[in-house]
Structure 1
Amino acid sequence: MIAETVCSAVSAAGLGIAAVTAFRRRFLAAARIAAYSLVPIGLVMTGVVGWLADTALSPTAWAGFGVLGAAWLLFASTRAVERRRRGTREERGAARAAQREAVAPGASSAAAVSAGTRTAPRLAPRADAHSVDDFSDIEAILKKHGI
């Protein structure tokens, strides 16, 4: 009974504020305020407020909310553990795939295994006669264009 009275008073006050807003020629804002102020009275008329008032004072309802909270915690924790396990499996699989791809995209698994045990020597680039000729060709082209 008290909840219905409070909701009716809130709706009446909201409609009054909407009327003042409309008087100031802010019709869009007035319509929005009127819509918000009609929600509490609509909830009273549908019986939702009475149901909520009965639920708020019921110990059985509060115990039910506690059970729902415990179920939610169980779902969340199992999902977190599942994600953690899946992440470690994916990381291991990605590391293996990266090691295989580091050797060569089409290499066999034996080459991938042996690649982890030995390293190929790095060769320093050497200047041969062919690379010197390339620069002379470039110089000739630049001189031809006057650069």
Structure 2
Amino acid sequence: MLLVETVCSAVSAAGLGIAAITAYRKRFLTATRLAAYSLIPVGLVMIGAVGWLSDIVFKPMVWAGFGVLGLAWLLFVTTRAVERRTGGARKERRAAKAARREVVAPGASAPSLGRGRTAAEPAAASAPAPAQPKKAQPDEDFSDIEAILKKHGI
């Protein structure tokens, strides 16, 4: 323990010396920062943190405890990864099946190819423009709307 305190004191003394040289070169901000860093080891020795840390580092039982904690963490991460890989995929498959069952009109989102054309027969560039469609009969246009209005009692 005395050796650790001596090393920390020597590191602080060397850091304060470097800070003094830096201040002599008129770099006061850097010198102040170096002095602050240099005082940390001495402060840790004075509050007893260095003795506590050296007790932890040199005890094999403490390292065994770190090993057990690491093993527990590894097991936890592994089980989470396996759960995500297997459980998550099953949930996604179930959701996809349910979505397929809920589709009302699966062909409704297919693009319209126009009258008389198929996907295999694209329109020719020299084809004449289609004729204007005939005006629909007034009864045909509003029959759907009338049915909806009657359904709602309007």
TM class by shorter chain equals: 0.5 to 0.7
TM-score between the two structures when normalised by the length of structure 2? 0.62
Alignment-derived partner of residue 140 in structure 1: none
Alignment-derived partner of residue 73 in structure 1: 74
Q: Percent identity?
A: 65
CA distance in 2, matches of 1:124, 1:19: 89
Alignment-derived partner of residue 8 in structure 1: 9
CA distance in 2, matches of 1:16, 1:77: 51
CA distance in 2, matches of 1:97, 1:36: 62
* Structure 2 gap ranges (5+): 108-112, 124-128, 134-154
Alignment-derived partner of residue 49 in structure 1: 50
Deviation by residue 1:85-118 (Cα, 9 ceiling, x = unmatched): 34313542564466468x5xxx2xxx56xx7xxx
The change in CA–CA distance for 1:94 and 1:31 in structure 2 (over 3 A counts) is farther
Alignment-derived partner of residue 130 in structure 2: 128
CA distance in 1, matches of 2:33, 2:87: 48
CA distance in 2, matches of 1:38, 1:93: 62
- Hey, which bits of structure 1, 4+ residues long, moved more than 6 A? none
Alignment-derived partner of residue 59 in structure 1: 60
Partner of 1:130, secondary structure, is: coil
CA distance in 2, matches of 1:13, 1:65: 34
CA distance in 2, matches of 1:27, 1:36: 14
Alignment-derived partner of residue 37 in structure 2: 36
* Structure 1 gap ranges (5+): 116-121, 132-147
Larger Cα-atom Rg: 2
CA distance in 1, matches of 2:14, 2:73: 39
Q: Which has the higher helix share?
A: 1
